[in-house]
Chain A
Amino acid sequence: MNPRASETYVTEVLALQGVAAAPEAARAIAPTLSAQLAAADPGYAALAFDVEPATFLVALDREKP
Chain B
Amino acid sequence: MTTGLNALTLTEVAALLRRREASATEVLDAVLARARAVQPKLNCFLRIDEELAREAARLADLELARGRLRGPLHGVPMAHKDMYYREGVPSSCGARVKGNEPERTTATALKRLDAAGAIQFGVLHMAEFAYGPTGHNYHDGHCRNPWNTAHVTGGSSSGSGASVAARAGFAALGSDTGGSVRLPAAICGITGLKVSYGRVSRAGAMPLSFSMDTVGPLARTAADCALMLSVLAGPDPADPTASAEPVPDYLARLALPVKGLRVGVPMSYFTDDIDAAVGAALTESIKAIASLGCEIVPVALPDLVPVDAAGTHVIAAEAAAYHGNWLRTRAEKYSPQVRARLERGLAIPAARYIDALRMRGPALAEFSKAVFAKVDVLHAPCIPIPTPTIAETDVGGSPNMDRTLALMTKFMRPFNYLGLPSLAVPCGFLASGLPVGMQLVGRPYAEDAILRLGHAFQQATDWHRREPPL
Contact = CB atoms under 8 A, between A and B. Distances in A.
The 7 tightest CB contacts between A and B, nearest first, are A55-B361, A43-B306, A40-B309, A39-B309, A53-B357, A56-B360, A44-B355
B198 interface: yes
Of the candidates B324, B364, B443, the one having the most CB atoms from chain A within 10 angstroms of its own CB is B364
Contact of B197 (A6, A44, A52, A60): A60
Nearest to A10: B347
A17 B365 CA distance: 36
A56 B212 CA distance: 12
Given A33-B348, A59-B365, A60-B419, 5 more contacts: A36-B313, A47-B359, A47-B362, A60-B444, A61-B444
B198 A60 contact: yes
B346 A63 contact: no
A44 B372 contact: no
Interface string B325-360: 001100100001001100110111000101111111
Given A13-B346, A43-B359, A59-B365, A65 B306 contact: no
A41 B355 CA distance: 9
Contact of B363 (A21, A33, A43, A65): A43
Nearest to A20: B331
B305 A39 contact: yes
A9 B354 CA distance: 19
A50 to B, nearest CB: 10
B368 A19 contact: no
Interface in B304-334: 305-310, 312-313, 324, 327-328, 331
22 contacts: A13-B346, A14-B347, A19-B327, A21-B343, A25-B339, A28-B340, A36-B312, A37-B348, A39-B309, A42-B303, A43-B306, A43-B310, A44-B358, A51-B358, A52-B358, A53-B354, A53-B361, A59-B368, A60-B364, A60-B445, A64-B245, A64-B446
B445 A65 contact: yes
B192 to A, nearest CB: 21
Contacts of B157: none
A52 to B, nearest CB: 6
Contacts of A29: 340, 343-344, 347
Contacts of A64: 245, 443-446
A33 B198 contact: no
Contacts of B344: 10, 29, 32-33
Contacts of A61: 444
Given A25-B339, A44-B352, A55-B362, A14 B346 contact: yes
A20 B331 CA distance: 9
Nearest to A21: B343
A56 B328 contact: no
A19 B331 contact: yes
B408 to A, nearest CB: 15
B449 interface: yes
B280 to A, nearest CB: 30
Interface in B412-470: 419, 443-446, 449
A36 to B, nearest CB: 5
A6 to B, nearest CB: 8
Contacts of A41: 306
Contacts of B308: 39
B324 A58 contact: no
A7 to B, nearest CB: 10
B364 A33 contact: no
A17 B328 contact: yes
A59 B364 contact: yes
A40 B306 contact: yes
B446 A47 contact: no
A44 B310 CA distance: 9
Interface centre among B339, B344, B347, B357 (most CB of A within 10 A): B347
A51 B364 CA distance: 13
Interface string B189-204: 0000000111000000
